[in-house]
Structure 1
Amino acid sequence: MEPLGVNPQIVDVWSLSTWAASEPGTPPLLPPQPSPNHSMPPFRVSQDLNNKICFWAGDITRLNAEGIVHTTNETFNEQNGYSTRLLFKAGPELKNELYNNIKNCKTGEVCLTDGYKLAARYILHTVGPRYNIKYHTAAESALHYCYRRTLQYAVEKKMHSLALCVINSVRRGYPPDQGAHIALRTVRRFLEHWGQSFERIIFVADSIDASIYEILMPLYFPRSSQEEECSCYLLPADLGDEFGEPVLPDRQIRIIDNPQHKYEDVEDSADLASQFQSSVSIGDHAFSHMEEDIDKQRLLGGQPSYATADPETASMTSDLQHKQRYERLLRRAKNEDLSEVSGIGCLYQCGVDKFGRPVIIFIGKWFKFNEINLDKALLYLIYLLDPLVRGDYVVIYFHTITGTENHPSLSWIRQVYEVLEYKYKKNLKAFYIVHPTLWTKIMTWWFTTFMAPQIKHKVHSVPGVEYLYDIIDPDQLEIPAYITEHDMTINGIRYYKPGSASS
């Protein structure tokens, strides 16, 4: 029974377990013969910082932190479950202040209001960036400043406890795990400089983002030497500057002493590429050669041909060879007998989503990796998907009750990805993983980080079948009975409220 006058819905931030009190998990499996991105751990074990950090998967509006963060749009009228809930609980006074007094907030900026009827004293409103792969550095910088300015505001207002929501949003196209990297490293760097200003910082994530934070937090806030060692391999090579802000060496301005220098004296100036530990120099950059889009080459599994005498010709040749290889496989897929694979039933189209896009189902439990003919499996995938991927499409992978015999090797996944044409990656609108395990989370993170970064923002993990109902009607979803039975066993019946999950 709660004490008189205490709202049972309120969660006391001082009752949450700190990161230091949590037990280090099993270190993630590394690929064979990995090469580290860092010779030394970028972030060392700090018991002091780990005692200030908490991770909580829940409703941020219930926390009695001195400040909570609200991610919204420029005019504070974004329609999502979090904003609607926060505005309702805070009362009409908050809406009046936002709509009539503050009115707007720019991307990357922060606006401060009272918490009104919430348990929190302050609300820090911020606008996360829209993500475009062509301008990803600008989006990363804007997201960094969302977190950094939020922390600075909290320090100025002498807030000793702050609850941070996930500011990046898949609604704005931001890849969830890239956003988590920015959030964690910005907070870590800020605490290294001004950690004495805070006693509690709570990372708050919903069920979809929670799995990402569970994997990445040990890398930025290691609790053991094993987690430190893993960070050398799993953290990206570029961790920004001393404050975690993204740095793009190509855009650094070269300062010279003599403004009267001649063109031929440029060779005597500082070598930017070496100073910033970058292999890209102005003369080698793709733009100077008018080379085909580098991101597209990497998406297709190729590498930029900086060193070739004629990079444009080499790129065209590579694309042509890739296209010819795919067309040969497509001809084989149409002519060979694939009944031994199609009869397994692990890959099929089940219907369309609410936007009329075909939905492809993959049943992990029925894919016996060590028993199936992998060549024919690839041919059947091409045979089934080629006519469907000419327009937008969605893939749902069910990892329900799978065992090690169902886990394909990372090398085979990469081989399949590199064989498929560009339209497969371009027209894929979403890839949902249902009933994920730690294995799928680690494999997905590793693959989309180092092998397929262009589709990272399209991959989402969901804990149950009903979380798919935002994007596909139940009568369009055809799945084996064992999946629904397992789903009800672990989640219960009617566990999902429409609109509570991001799609």
Structure 2
Amino acid sequence: MLRAKEVNMNARTPTTVLSQSEQEKLLEKLGMFKIQGRDKRGRKLLCIIGKLFPAKHVSVEALKKYLEEKILPGLDERPFVVVYLHTGVQRRENFPGISALRSIYDAIPINVKDRIEAVYFLHPGLQSRLFLATFGRLVLRRGLYWKLKYVSRLEFLWEHVRRNEIEIPEFVSDHDEELESRPMMNYGLESDHPRSACSAPVVDSPFSVYSMRCIA
């Protein structure tokens, strides 16, 4: 129970510094990582809900420990795929920095990395595509960059994933419907959230999760 150190997820700056155990409890409570369902080839799905990542309150070390103890053991020893829901990720709220992404990825055991056969990136923005096109091969090693598949609509995700075996948050479905009526959002010609001033990228910080915050 977080009690007095309750996290304000909408704040622009950290309201408190949580202990590592509290950070792990927060990750568990938010449920941003879920192993559920299978794709059409029978492989397990690791679903990651980007919007729920508490970037301002969780350190890389706590996230590594949580993944190693709570998530990775559930993937067994077989090939699996990742479904990353980028919907609703905001520049200043929940986008991890490049150093954090690299540290987390490097912490995953090699045998686990090698079992990732595809990463379905749902609702990528134009800036996300540019960022990954520029830095993706530096961050995503061991061939993972080439396994990345952009998915602009849920209907295209269902070509690869068994629709009834994965729980899609309501806000993701709502955004998908909005994209149908405002297709220019796909190309960055119309924003899906208010613009905000972006500061220069910072590679490292005490929590290592604020760098590259202008990329959404």
Q: What TM-score, normalized by structure 1, do the two folds share?
A: 0.30
Pick the aligned partner of 2:28 from 342, 346, 354.
342
Partner of 2:80: 393
Show the 5 A alignment for 1:457-476: 457-476=146-165
Partner of 1:380: 66
CA-based RMSD of the aligned residues comes to: 2.0
* Unaligned 5+ runs, structure 1: 1-332, 493-503
What is the CA-CA distance between 1:370 and the residue it aligns to? 1.5
* Unaligned 5+ runs, structure 2: 1-19, 182-216
Give 1 or 2: higher helix fraction.
Answer: 1
Whole-angstrom distance in 2 between the partners of 1:474 and 1:381: 25
Whole-angstrom distance in 1 between the partners of 2:142 and 2:80: 19
Whole-angstrom distance in 2 between the partners of 1:377 and 1:463: 28
1:456 paired with 2:145, answer yes
Partner of 2:95: 407
Partner of 1:85: none
Report the number of matched residues.
Answer: 158
Partner of 1:490: 179
Partner of 1:478: 167
Show the 5 A alignment for 1:421-460: 421-451=109-139, 452=141, 454-460=143-149
**Are the counterparts in 2 of residues 389 and 427 from structure 1 also a CA contact under 8 Å?**
no
Partner of 2:56: 370
**Are the counterparts in 1 of residues 50 and 94 from structure 2 also a CA contact under 8 Å?**
yes
Whole-angstrom distance in 2 between the partners of 1:463 and 1:388: 26
C-alpha change, 1:397 and 1:424, in structure 2 (3 Å) is: same
Pick the aligned partner of 1:417 from 97, 105, 110.
105
Show the 5 A alignment for 1:206-217: none
Partner of 1:309: none
**Are the counterparts in 2 of residues 347 and 362 from structure 1 also a CA contact under 8 Å?**
yes
Q: Residue type of the partner of 2:55?
A: F
C-alpha change, 1:468 and 1:345, in structure 2 (3 Å) is: same
Larger radius of gyration: 1
C-alpha change, 1:345 and 1:387, in structure 2 (3 Å) is: closer
What is the CA-CA distance between 1:453 and the residue it aligns to? 5.6
C-alpha change, 1:354 and 1:487, in structure 2 (3 Å) is: same
C-alpha change, 1:339 and 1:368, in structure 2 (3 Å) is: closer
Pick the aligned partner of 1:352 from 38, 42, 49.
38
Local SS of the residue matching 1:470: coil
Q: Residue type of the partner of 2:88?
A: I
Partner of 1:103: none
Show the 5 A alignment for 1:1-400: 338-383=24-69, 384-388=71-75, 390-400=77-87
**Are the counterparts in 2 of residues 397 and 431 from structure 1 also a CA contact under 8 Å?**
yes
Q: Residue type of the partner of 1:382?
A: E
Q: Deviations over 1:406-426 (max 9, x none)?
A: 110101111111111111221
Whole-angstrom distance in 2 between the partners of 1:388 and 1:360: 8
Q: What TM-score, normalized by structure 2, do the two folds share?
A: 0.67
C-alpha change, 1:458 and 1:389, in structure 2 (3 Å) is: farther
Whole-angstrom distance in 1 between the partners of 2:160 and 2:76: 18
Whole-angstrom distance in 1 between the partners of 2:72 and 2:131: 23
Paired-residue identity, %: 26
**Are the counterparts in 2 of residues 400 and 434 from structure 1 also a CA contact under 8 Å?**
yes
What is the CA-CA distance between 1:474 and the residue it aligns to? 1.1
What is the CA-CA distance between 1:363 and the residue it aligns to? 0.9
Whole-angstrom distance in 2 between the partners of 1:362 and 1:458: 16
